[in-house]
């Protein structure tokens, strides 16, 4: 068969289907399609128009979940009244007008499984059966959720966040917005009731820099007026890195209240910061206050190397710092008038008796 004859066949078939539908629904007027959601209600309208001399004997509503599998769910007879023969619908379906001319029904407590075709069929005399079909589309709002997965810094790709849109119909789409480099994939799992659960995972190589960065999950779905957004912050854990700060290059003998500060970057927060001297015990003229090493009075004993060690649950790190104590009495003044000494390394010390200036010259 050539493409051309294929197209012709399709056109003819289409035209036939179209015209037969027009004939059927000519006098039985129904809506083409209605939409509802679980626990909701729906009105299925039906009307026989221009009956003229046709006698209407009875009207039935059939439900067809899949093509050809018809179940009679509601019958109206002018003499015998209404009857609801299907146990899946009994108690949930009723005639709203209850007349042959208007046998509209309402179905309550809708379930996803109520999706399908509803056929309003008249038994008439003398023309036989006439019918109209309404398709009920069941939509379901997904149950959305998102969560960050705390991870340890490393060199391989891991899942850092998950987002889920459970039991939606139609299927939800999930996307991510973040400035951090990574990628995501999703899986769609059809549920028994015709809904779909979508799960998405965001993966990346986690570095300490990424800790606390924003990542947003967006869930789009037809029943939501706007995308559902989840604003999350990445959690990357890493062992400490340590810096020693506060040294001002001006620890001259006799100075009071010099300080060294042990600054650590760690996640989770450090559990313990300890100061020691490389040679062993801390000198008696220093004291420790959390991460600060306080030198009450600078003397020879603080002319040494201090060590700060920081621990968290993932590990520990140390940093050493050698303080340099200046003893002006051991050097020749280079500028007698101002009482200054050359200390080497481009530094000069001017005796506190005159002023306390020390600086590069």
Ligand X SMILES: *[C@@H]1O[C@H](CO)[C@@H](O)[C@H](O)[C@H]1NC(C)=O
In the structure encoding, which two tokens stand for residue 106, read together?
A: 């309402």
| Rounded least distance, CB 328 to ligand X, Å | 9
Helix, strand, coil percentages for the chain (3-state, nearest 5): 10, 55, 35
Distance separating alpha carbons of residues 340 and 361, to the nearest angstrom? 11
Tell which residue, 63, 223, 214, 86, has the closest CA to residue 143: 223
Provide, rounded to whole angstroms, the least separation between the CB of residue 144 and ligand X: 13
Tokens, residue 280: 């062993």
Residue among 5 and 329 whose Cβ is closer to ligand X:
329
Minimum separation from the CB atom of position 200 to ligand X (A): 6
> Which member of 51, 216, 274, 301 binds ligand X (CB under 6 A)?
274
Stretch that binds ligand X, among 72-80, 83-91, 196-204, 289-297 (CB under 6 A): 196-204
End-to-end CA distance of the chain: 97
Among 201, 221, 282, 312, the residue binding ligand X under the rule CB under 6 A is 201
CB closer to ligand X out of 127 and 305:
305
> Near ligand X by CB under 6 A, which window of 7-15, 18-26, 73-81, 269-277?
269-277
Question: What mask of x and - would describe binding to ligand X in positions 307 to 346, judged by CB under 6 A?
Answer: ------------------x-x-------------------
Min dist CB 290 to ligand X, Å, is 10
Nearer to ligand X, 59 or 215 (CB): 215
- Kindly identify the residues of this chain, within the stretch 278-297, that bind ligand X according to CB under 6 A: none
* Element of type H or E holding 295: strand 292-297
Q: What is the DSSP letter of 137?
A: E
How far apart are the C-alpha atoms of 211 and 150, rounded to whole Å?
A: 9
186 scored as a contact of ligand X (CB under 6 A):
yes
- The rounded distance, in Å, linking the Cα atoms of 225 and 6 is 42
Residues 37-96 that bind ligand X (CB under 6 A): 38-39
Q: Which of 53, 156, 187, 290 binds ligand X (CB under 6 A)?
A: 187
Exposure string over 166-197, b if 16+ CB within 10 A, otherwise e? bbbbeebbbebebebebebeeeeeeeeeebbb
- Site of interaction with ligand X (CB under 6 A): 38-39, 185-187, 199-201, 271-272, 274, 300, 303, 325, 327
């Amino acid at each position: 068969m050539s493409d051309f004859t294929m197209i012709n066949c399709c056109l003819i078939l289409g035209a036939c289907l179209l015209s037969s539908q027009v004939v059927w629904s000519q006098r039985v007027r129904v809506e083409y399609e209605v939409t509802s959601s679980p626990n909701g209600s729906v009105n299925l309208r039906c009307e026989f128009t221009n009956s003229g001399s046709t006698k209407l004997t009875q009207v039935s509503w059939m439900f067809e979940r899949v093509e050809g599998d018809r179940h009679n769910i509601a019958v109206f007879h002018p003499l015998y009244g209404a009857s609801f023969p299907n146990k899946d619908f009994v108690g949930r379906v009723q005639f709203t007008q209850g007349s042959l001319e208007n046998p509209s029904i309402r179905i309550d407590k809708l379930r996803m499984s109520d999706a399908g075709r509803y056929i309003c069929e008249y038994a008439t005399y003398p023309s036989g059966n006439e019918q109209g079909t309404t398709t009920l589309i069941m939509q379901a709002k997904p149950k959305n959720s998102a969560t960050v997965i705390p991870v340890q810094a490393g060199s391989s790709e891991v899942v850092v966040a998950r987002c889920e849109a459970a039991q939606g119909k139609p299927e939800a789409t999930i996307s991510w917005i973040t400035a951090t480099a990574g990628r995501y994939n999703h899986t769609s799992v059809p549920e028994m009731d015709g809904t779909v659960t979508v799960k998405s995972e965001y993966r990346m190589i986690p570095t300490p820099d990424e800790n606390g960065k924003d990542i947003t999950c967006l869930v789009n779905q037809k029943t939501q007026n706007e995308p559902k957004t989840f604003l999350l912050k990445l959690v990357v854990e890493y062992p400490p890195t340590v810096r020693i700060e506060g040294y001002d290059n001006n620890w001259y003998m006799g100075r009071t209240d010099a300080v060294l500060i042990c600054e650590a970057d760690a996640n989770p927060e450090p559990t313990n910061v300890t100061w020691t001297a490389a040679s062993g015990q801390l000198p008696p003229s220093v004291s420790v206050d959390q991460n600060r090493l306080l030198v009450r009075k600078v003397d020879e004993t603080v002319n040494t190397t201090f060590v700060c060690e920081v621990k968290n649950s993932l590990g520990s790190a140390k940093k050493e710092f050698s303080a340099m104590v200046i003893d002006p009495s051991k050097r020749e003044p280079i500028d007698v008038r101002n009482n200054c000494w050359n200390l080497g390394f481009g530094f000069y010390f001017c005796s506190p008796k005159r002023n306390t200036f020390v600086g590069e010259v």
